[in-house]
């Protein structure tokens, strides 16, 4: 049995998230089905670095698995991409330690949320960007975002994956930048709460529209009250960009 680490990318539009579920199509289930076919049958378990929600995309999701495979890693890479559907592919693949766990060994995850800021929608952006018709104050959004950098209790922006789990997270970086009609919000943290990124973006959009002052973000953070921040933007603008590990170059 050989052990492999892979970086995968997917268009999350037609997936009900990463994690395997009994009755719907997920990234983990599709990967496991095709890997089992490559070894001639028998269950394969894929471990992922993060559980992206339904409709969320990835460019740098990291997975690990064990497989009965007698050929090279390059041949496995090619064979797997041949079998996978058009909305899921393997960007890189290599042998790894038998005990490597992409989730527990990760130092941080980096997400990017894309907002299309135009009066009218664009058909080619609908799967990958949230459309905001009103003009946005990107400078104000960027200023407000800095109040979320550092170690904080993010209870106002999401909930833990387990009941009564911790809500403290370390936000290493949070930037807001305009690139023509697109506004990109990038966030890097040691871990994220459920829907935390989409809630942060929703709050920053309130500041950008002028519906809330810059200082409101820090007040919301200090409140540690999820009921004060009910705005959650859609999943289509969100993409897992990268997962960082201790072995990565600095």
Mean pLDDT throughout 79-102? Answer: 97
pLDDT at 249: 63
pLDDT at 112: 98
Q: What is the DSSP string of 43-98?
A: ----EES--PPTT-EEEEEEEEEEE---S-HHHHHHHHHHHS-TTEEEEEEEE--T
Q: What is the DSSP string of 103-152?
A: TTT-SEEEEEEEEE-SSS--GGGTTT-EE--S---HHHHHHHHGGG-EEE
Percent of the chain with pLDDT strictly greater than 90: 92
Q: How far is CA 235 from CA 15, 53, 196, 203, 240, in A?
A: 11, 8, 12, 15, 11
Q: Provide the token pair at 184.
A: 């990109």
In this prediction, residue 247 has a pLDDT band, given cuts at 50, 70 and 90, of confident
pLDDT at 230: 78
User: Catalytic residue positions?
Assistant: 53
Mean pLDDT throughout 144-163? Answer: 94
Mean pLDDT throughout 8-14? Answer: 98
Mean pLDDT throughout 1-27? Answer: 96
In this prediction, residue 231 has a pLDDT band, given cuts at 50, 70 and 90, of confident
In this prediction, residue 162 has a pLDDT band, given cuts at 50, 70 and 90, of confident
pLDDT tens across 108-118, in order?
999 999 999 99
pLDDT tens across 28-85, in order?
999 999 999 999 989 999 999 999 999 999 999 999 999 999 999 999 999 999 999 9
Q: Provide the token pair at 232.
A: 């959650």
90: Cα within 13 Å, side-chain hemisphere: 25
pLDDT tens across 18-31, in order?
999 989 999 999 99
- Beta-carbon count within 10 A of 56 CB: 27
Question: How confident is the prediction for the chain on average, in pLDDT?
Answer: 96
Mean pLDDT throughout 6-14? Answer: 98
pLDDT at 250: 54
Q: Domains (ranges, CATH) in the chain?
A: 2-95 (3.30.70.580), 108-244 (3.30.70.660)
pLDDT at 122: 96
Q: Which residue carries 């990234």 as its tokens?
A: 27
């Amino acid at each position: 049995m050989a052990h492999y680490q892979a970086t995968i990318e997917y268009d999350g539009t037609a997936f009900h998230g990463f994690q395997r579920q009994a009755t719907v199509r997920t990234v983990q289930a599709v990967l496991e089905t095709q890997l089992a076919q490559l070894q001639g049958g028998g269950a394969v378990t894929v471990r992922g670095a993060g559980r992206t929600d339904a409709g969320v995309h990835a460019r740098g999701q990291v997975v690990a698995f064990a497989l009965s495979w007698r050929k090279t890693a390059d041949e496995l890479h090619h064979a797997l991409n041949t079998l996978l559907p058009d909305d899921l592919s393997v960007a890189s693949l290599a042998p790894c330690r038998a005990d490597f766990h992409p989730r527990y060994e990760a130092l941080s995850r980096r997400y990017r949320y894309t907002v299309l800021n135009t009066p009218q929608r664009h058909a080619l952006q609908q799967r990958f960007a949230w459309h905001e018709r009103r003009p946005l104050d990107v400078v104000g959004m960027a200023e407000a975002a800095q109040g979320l950098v550092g170690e904080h209790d993010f209870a106002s922006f999401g909930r833990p994956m387990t009941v009564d789990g911790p809500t403290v997270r370390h936000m290493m970086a949070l930037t807001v930048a305009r690139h023509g009609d697109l506004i990109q919000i990038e966030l890097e943290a040691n871990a994220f709460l459920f829907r935390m990124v989409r809630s942060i973006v929703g709050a920053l959009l309130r500041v950008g529209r002028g519906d809330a002052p810059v200082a409101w973000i820090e007040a919301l953070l200090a409140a540690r009250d999820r009921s004060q921040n009910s705005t959650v933007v859609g999943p289509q603008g969100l993409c897992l960009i990268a997962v960082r590990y201790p072995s990565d170059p600095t």
